[in-house]
């Protein structure tokens, strides 16, 4: 299978595969006598695994460490598990931040008419050159 076919099968671009190879996430990729990469099931599985870990937010440096542990003949179960748990904790923190942002936007949407539209009117008035005092006299509250 060539790089285009491998990319399509794994859901990444050919450039991504080349990058993974360049940074050492993919071990030796077989090549034809003319130097064209060929991909077997082992490499396809590895590309899919790396893609999944990247989607889970794992940085390249951490992923390189993790893949090095996999490639080593010694048993690194505890170290691998620790890296996975660390990444899960990072993602849980991000999830909490995202949920806070979603909740905030939901509140703003739910209260758009009684808050946001007034703020937008004030900003538009300021853009037109009205002073804060003029806005206060017309009933606009502070942002």
CB 44 within 8 A of CB 2: no
Residues of the chain with pLDDT under 50: 143
Residue 112's pLDDT is: 83
Segment 71-94, tens digit of pLDDT: 998 999 999 999 999 999 999 999
Residue 23's pLDDT is: 94
DSSP state of 140: P
Residue 120's pLDDT is: 79
Residue 6's pLDDT is: 96
The Cα 56–Cα 90 span in angstroms is 10
Residue 55's pLDDT is: 93
Q: Which fold has domain 1-73?
A: Multidrug-efflux Transporter Regulator; Chain: A; Domain 2 (1.10.1660)
Among left, alpha and beta (phi > 0; psi -120 to 50; other), residue 35 is left
Residue in the block written with tokens 């539209």: 117
């Amino acid at each position: 299978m060539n790089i285009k076919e491998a990319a399509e099968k794994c859901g990444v671009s050919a450039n991504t595969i080349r990058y993974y190879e360049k940074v050492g996430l993919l071990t030796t990729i077989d090549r034809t006598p003319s130097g064209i990469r060929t991909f077997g099931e082992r490499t396809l599985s590895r590309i899919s695994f790396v893609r999944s870990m990247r989607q889970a937010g794992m940085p390249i440096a951490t992923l390189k460490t993790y893949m090095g542990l996999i490639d080593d003949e010694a048993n690194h179960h505890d170290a691998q598990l620790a890296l996975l748990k660390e990444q899960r904790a990072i993602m849980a923190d991000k999830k909490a931040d995202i949920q806070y942002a979603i909740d905030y936007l939901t509140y703003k949407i739910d209260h758009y008419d009684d808050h946001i539209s007034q703020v937008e009117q004030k900003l538009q008035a300021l853009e037109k050159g009205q002073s804060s005092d003029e806005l206060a006299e017309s009933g606009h509250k502070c942002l």
